[in-house]
Amino acid sequence: MSERDMEFLDLSGVHEPQAKPEQLDATRFPVLEGMTAIHLRILNSTSRVMHVSEGVELLHEGDTPHDLYFVYSGKLEIGKHIDGELKILASLKPGDVYGEFGILRKKSRYASVFTVEPSRIIRVELSTIYQIMEADTTLKKRLETLLYQRILDSFFFSHPAFRHMPTDIRATLTRELKTKYVERNTRLFSQGDTPTGVYLILSGEAEVRHLNRSQKETLLEVRRDGDILGELTQNHGKALAYSAIASGNLDLLPLNRQTMQAIRELHPETAKALETYINDRAARTVERIKKNLG
């Protein structure tokens, strides 16, 4: 190597140790609280600091993230396109994380993330996060809690029955309502089961199957994000009118009588819109079943 080449390398500093002052620790990032020093070292060893200017869309709605992102400084926002307009779901500040949906569900994002001011973000590789979660279930549980809060908030923003709720009521429901995760090929309920409420699909797909008079089971529909399950009964409300099976991993919001009553007390307009939505969906299901009676 020539002296001139060495001079260039000296000027560029490529063969000098690169200090990385931005480190992941529990003081700055509460999601890491209680993590061992070894696990923190593993996280930091595979992390990469990104200096991002204002107005950059880091993740786009529909992308499949492959890493977990820690906001070290700056400000970001989570936004979702609803009726052609970008709605801001949440702001991200130093100490927050994002990318948990791709990590935990391995599916495309439900919303976009972009910077609203110059920011520094620490990016940790997907494989490292899986390694840590396998050894430390606390991290996985915290990410799951965060995921459900955000996915519920996004759902309330976009679903026609919930989108007109006031911000404070939406925040209350996001905190208090319990979601349910169901793995692929799980039978949610069978035709003839006693109804216990309905399920709103937050994320995923479910098959709706009906057994006709000839005892032939037919796939009537595949229902996806925002749809509903369990809305139709028979025998004067004593039995469910069809079966539902998870054709993909499902995130669900169960709604029983007590939950519906709580929504009614918090915001009667939303409860009325939800009841109308359920009844309209039931009417469409009746038409599908009529074609399958045989």
Q: Give me the residue label for tokens 């469910």.
A: 240
Q: What is the pTM of this model?
A: 0.83
Write down the domain spans for the chain.
18-136, 174-290
Out of 1.10.357.10, 2.60.120.10, 3.90.480.20, 1.10.10.10, the CATH code matching 174-290 is 2.60.120.10
Per-residue confidence band for 52, with pLDDT thresholds at 50, 70 and 90: very high
Least confidently predicted of 78-87, 141-150, 153-162, 279-288: 78-87
Q: What is the mean pLDDT of the chain?
A: 89
Sorted by sequence, the CB contacts under 8 Å of residue 95 that are 6+ apart come out as 28, 29, 30, 71
pLDDT, tens digit, 9 for 90 and up, residues 194-239: 999 999 999 999 999 999 888 889 999 999 999 999 999 998 889 9
250 bridge partner residues: 182
CA distance 90 to 174: 13
Inter-CA distances, 204 with 50, 101, 223, 245, Å: 32, 12, 8, 11
Q: Which tens digits make up the pLDDT trace of 12-27?
A: 444 444 446 789 999 9
- Integer Cα distance of 128 and 179 in angstroms: 27
Query: Beta-strand (E) ranges in the chain?
Result: 47-52, 57-59, 67-82, 85-92, 97-98, 112-125, 180-182, 187-189, 198-203, 206-211, 217-223, 228-229, 233-234, 239-240, 243-246, 250-255
Helical pair 268-290 and 257-266, crossing angle rounded to 10 deg: 140
Q: Is the dihedral of CA 34, 38, 41, 46 positive or negative?
A: negative
Report pLDDT digits (tens) over 120-151: 999 999 999 999 999 888 999 999 999 999 89
The domain defined by 18-136 carries CATH number 2.60.120.10: yes
Same fold, 18-136 and 174-290: yes
Q: Which residues contact 168 (CB under 8 A, 6 or more apart)?
A: none
Average pLDDT over residues 150-154: 89
Q: At what angle do helices 257-266 and 167-176 cross, to 10 degrees?
A: 160
By residue count, the chain amounts to: 294
